């Protein structure tokens, strides 16, 4: 690699700095999703800026029964991808460089927000993630830090940490990159057999089914609100031949304003079907949440939400999500 490969904090601190510095933090096994992050960092930093990619498999993020030893380590390939995407340097420290005293006695706590969804399934995971992100922010001293929206709860927690603890860095979220069949790019996709991958496609199909339900219900409501909403007026419309407007008015009246529940139901239907596949999809959670604190969106929710899913197919656990926008009458 013609770009600098750095292994120690001393080497990193000795790296000449030019313009704005953007950092992309990874655990290696880079793929097109990471390359997209690096290219975006290159654009954000500008031609006179600097892009630093970190490659570090953080042991604090793995539980006792998780795949730390199994996690792929492909540094040579990572260097090629990083350079091709526009990185100026790669920082790939050893564990004892990041944690010179062994497991850190003082760690960042993710608080209640880190105990939901992924945090409930993987206790301590977000404490470990925030601890290493905080350390790497101190070590790399960036102006910008870019993270993928695929890990929506991680991104939300990093933003909260940066705000709550006054880190002098701008956090930039980059949209999820998907393969042609819709599966969100992940280092863990390589573990899926062809039949497991077929089942795993239900994750993205479920999310898009929820998105479609939201769009359809919003259009339904718009049509119904353009027509009289009472039963009497709807019946009068039907007599005039406006059958669709009449049906829409009745449907909105019956729906009771539970659009978030309708979105969840549409997604859950796809996931339940996949649970009957061979191999089956084993659902961990499906949630529609407020991205500010990852609490569930209630019946009258408005604004941006995240529809998130986690499931196992075979031995591989996958996550995915999409952002949704709920209008004032959702």
Catalytic residue list: 34
Cα–Cα distance for residue pair 305/287, rounded to 1 Å: 10
Residue of 85, 125, 50, 139 lying closest to 317 (CA atoms): 125
In this structure, what token pair is assigned to residue 193? 């057999």
Q: CB atoms < 10 A from the CB of 19, how many?
A: 12
Cα–Cα distance for residue pair 36/4, rounded to 1 Å: 20
- What sign results for the dihedral spanned by CA atoms 282, 287, 293, 295? negative
Those residues whose C-beta lies under 8 Å from the C-beta of residue 213, and which sit 6 or more positions away, are: 262, 263, 265, 266, 267
Radius of gyration (C-alpha) of the chain in whole angstroms: 23
Residue written as tokens 């042609």?
180
Cα–Cα distance for residue pair 206/55, rounded to 1 Å: 32
């Amino acid at each position: 690699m013609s770009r600098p490969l750095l292994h120690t904090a001393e080497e990193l601190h000795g790296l000449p700095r030019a313009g704005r510095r953007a950092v992309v933090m990874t655990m290696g096994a880079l793929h097109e999703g990471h390359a997209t992050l690096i290219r975006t960092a290159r654009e954000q930093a500008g031609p006179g800026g600097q892009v630093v990619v970190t490659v570090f498999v953080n042991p604090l993020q793995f539980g006792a029964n998780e795949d730390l030893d199994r996690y792929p380590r492909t540094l040579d390939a990572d260097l090629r991808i990083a350079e091709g995407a526009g990185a100026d340097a790669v920082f790939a420290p050893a564990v004892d460089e990041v944690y010179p005293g062994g497991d850190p006695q003082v760690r960042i706590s993710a608080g209640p927000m880190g105990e939901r969804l992924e945090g409930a399934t993987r206790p301590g995971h977000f404490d470990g993630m925030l601890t290493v992100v905080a350390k790497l922010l101190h070590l790399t001293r960036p102006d910008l830090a870019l993270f993928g929206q695929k890990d929506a709860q991680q991104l939300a927690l990093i933003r909260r940490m940066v705000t709550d603890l006054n880190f002098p860095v701008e956090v930039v979220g980059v949209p999820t990159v998907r393969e042609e069949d819709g599966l969100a790019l992940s280092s863990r996709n390589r573990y899926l057999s062809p039949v497991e991958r077929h089942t795993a496609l239900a994750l993205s199909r479920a999310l898009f089914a929820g998105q479609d339900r939201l769009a359809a219900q919003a259009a339904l409501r718009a049509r119904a609100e353009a027509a009289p909403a009472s039963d009497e007026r709807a019946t009068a419309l039907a007599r005039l031949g406006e059958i669709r407007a009449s049906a829409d008015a009745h449907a909105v009246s019956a729906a009771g304003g539970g659009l978030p529940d309708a979105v969840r139901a549409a997604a859950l239907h796809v996931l339940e079907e996949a649970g009957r596949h061979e191999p089956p999809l084993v659902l961990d959670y499906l949630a529609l949440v407020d991205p500010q604190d990852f609490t569930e969106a209630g019946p009258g929710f408005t604004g941006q939400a995240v529809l998130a899913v986690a499931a196992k197919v075979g031995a591989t656990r996958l996550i995915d999500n999409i952002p949704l926008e709920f209008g004032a009458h959702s």
